[in-house]
A = this chain, B = another copy of it.
């Protein structure tokens, strides 16, 4: 049976929910106060899970210090204290919902992690709004 290791990191970003193909009225109707054209923001808590077999020499599935550094280099540095819609290539034309942010982060990290390890991402947009990708 395999073991999962999970590392928690966090970042603070501004964003706005918006579909450029829609009228302002439709955007306002669907996204409500999240559509504020001047943006709002969140403290995002990010949990990255890797599933694999512990190395018998180290007892580690993955060195958590290395995982923390990897998440900080590839994800936190890109999104922390940024405006997701304006400062990042990933969300220039993709709506930065929590769902899409989780998928984008998964795609970034998937390239960096050995394919023998399964990867899952959980993102807390607030204490009460949470997404997982891929879903359990």
Contact = CB atoms under 8 A, between A and B. Distances in A.
A90 interface: no
A39 B86 CA distance: 9
A27 B21 CA distance: 37
A131 B127 CA distance: 19
A111 to B, nearest CB: 16
A72 to B, nearest CB: 12
- Taking residues whose C-beta sits less than 8 angstroms from the other chain, chain A's interface range is 35 or more
A3 B135 contact: yes
Interface in A51-67: 51, 54, 57-61, 63-65
Interface in A97-136: 97-100, 102-103, 118, 126-136
11 contacts: A1-B133, A3-B134, A8-B129, A10-B127, A12-B41, A15-B41, A42-B43, A43-B127, A59-B94, A59-B97, A136-B136
* 6 closest residue pairs by CB, A with B: A41-B41, A38-B83, A4-B135, A59-B97, A1-B134, A33-B81
